[in-house]
Amino acid sequence: MWDVIIVGAGPSGLMCGVTLKSGLKVLILEKNEISGKKLLASGGGRCNLTHTGNLEALYPRYNAGGRYIKRALSLFDNQALMAFFTARGLPLTVDEGGRVFPESQLSRDVLEVFSRELRILGRRPVTGEHVRGFTPLETGFEVTTDEKTYRGRILLLATGGVTYPTLGTTGDGHALARATGHDLTPTGYGLGGIKTEPDNFETLQGISLKGVKFELYKKGRKFRSYRSDLLFTGEGLSGPGILNASRDIEIGDEIHLDFEPPENLFAGPKNCLNAMKGLMPAALGAWLLDSCGISGTAFYPQLGKREKTALARALASKVFTVTALAGPMKSMITTGGVSFKDVSLKTLESRKIPGLFFAGEILDVDGESGGYNLQAAFSMGHLVARTLNERISGLGD
């Protein structure tokens, strides 16, 4: 019998696998042909591992203010995570926004750290094994795959969420949890861009705005205000601000973009377009003027009352109506998942089935863009290993 069976060789499962003490018999099952498939794709292949800042600054970056994973983060925070990698020979770098990457900018170097540690421990993941179900026994669990049946004393489900199904995250763990009586918060897709109306952004694609103010409206009422970076895509909006707001955005909502124009914006001898260049990129200024039926070469005093009113509204609250969401193939993370009502916040053990643990995106926890979700996954995997290292006595070194 195995001491611990880990289902899923993603960030949480890998971190748990390398943190469990060496004397334990640990089996890692992965349905993909390789471990860490989604990890390799994270951050566009660059792998944004975590974010700098103190611990108190981390908590608000997650739903519910990080309450669900406060213990996991406190026991293995961003500083501990960075130390983990540097101690194993992986140099790190921090960009101007505080995001932490491997110095090589290659996610495969991150995966190699885990692969090397697992080889040292003799815990090479068994790949191509799709877990179909498990049965709690009097002592332990029986885990059934397409190939065979395994028995273990402890079971960790670290199967991920429902985004990027081509990378293997197809909600398998959610189905296993539901089948054993666990409640699930409805799942959705987070950290994704949106399609909007208007969408005639041919001249705007790739334009970004730094620290811009925008508001999310639902059914005509303001839901929340934001200040962050925003990006125009070919058919809508994206960028860190939209990505972080996306967990709350639904079709039919409105984004009100406020350029915060100064009162004297159009004072002086410049035409409208040139006057707006200090406020936004020229292409965006031309597009905004055109949307108000105003020529860029026009001078403000020449405008009629209707044109001035339209321009003032566009500058203070340009409205974009949401027509479509990113969906599973263009969203970075899963929202919702196994409810923490059924999971101990201290250990991540099921409250319904002793010996069953959850970690990572399978749970109802998600964070903003910038490395926060990988940090959470690593912290949760570490917490489970820490718990089991203390609990399973008489084994290990």
- 129-187 pLDDT, tens per residue? 999 999 999 999 999 999 899 999 999 999 999 998 888 888 999 999 999 999 999 99
Is it the case that residue 292 has pLDDT exceeding 70?
A: yes
Q: In Å, what is the CA distance from 85 to each residue of 30, 233, 376, 385? A: 23, 35, 16, 17
What count of other Cβ atoms lies within 10 Å of the Cβ of residue 242?
29
- Which one, of 114, 88, 134, lies nearest residue 13 by Cα? 114
Is it the case that residue 352 has pLDDT exceeding 60?
A: yes
Return the pLDDT at 168: 84
Walk me through the domains of the chain, giving residue ranges and CATH numbers: 2-188+333-391 (3.50.50.60), 194-325 (no CATH)
Residue range 264-280: mean pLDDT, rounded:
94
Model confidence at 393, pLDDT cuts 50, 70, 90, reads: low
291-295 long-range contacts, Cβ below 8 Å, gap at least 24?
Answer: 291/198, 291/318
CA geometry: angle 159, 164, 166, nearest 5 deg: 90
Is it the case that residue 329 has pLDDT exceeding 90?
A: no
Is it the case that residue 193 has pLDDT exceeding 90?
A: yes
Residue range 225-251: mean pLDDT, rounded:
94
Is it the case that residue 60 has pLDDT exceeding 80?
A: yes
Return the pLDDT at 394: 53
Residue range 8-24: mean pLDDT, rounded:
97
Question: Do residues 371 and 73 make contact, with C-beta atoms less than 8 angstroms apart?
Answer: no
Is it the case that residue 272 has pLDDT exceeding 70?
A: yes
DSSP alpha helix (H) spans, the chain: 11-19, 37-41, 55-58, 70-75, 78-87, 107-121, 172-179, 240-245, 272-276, 282-291, 305-317, 372-391
Residue range 303-310: mean pLDDT, rounded:
96
Is it the case that residue 106 has pLDDT exceeding 80?
A: yes
- How far is residue 334's CA from residue 188's CA, in Å, rounded to a whole number? 6
Residue range 319-338: mean pLDDT, rounded:
94
pTM of the model: 0.91
Return the pLDDT at 164: 86
Is it the case that residue 397 has pLDDT exceeding 50?
A: no
Residue range 116-121: mean pLDDT, rounded:
97
Quote the radius of gyration of the chain (alpha carbons, Å): 25
> How confident is the prediction for the chain on average, in pLDDT?
95
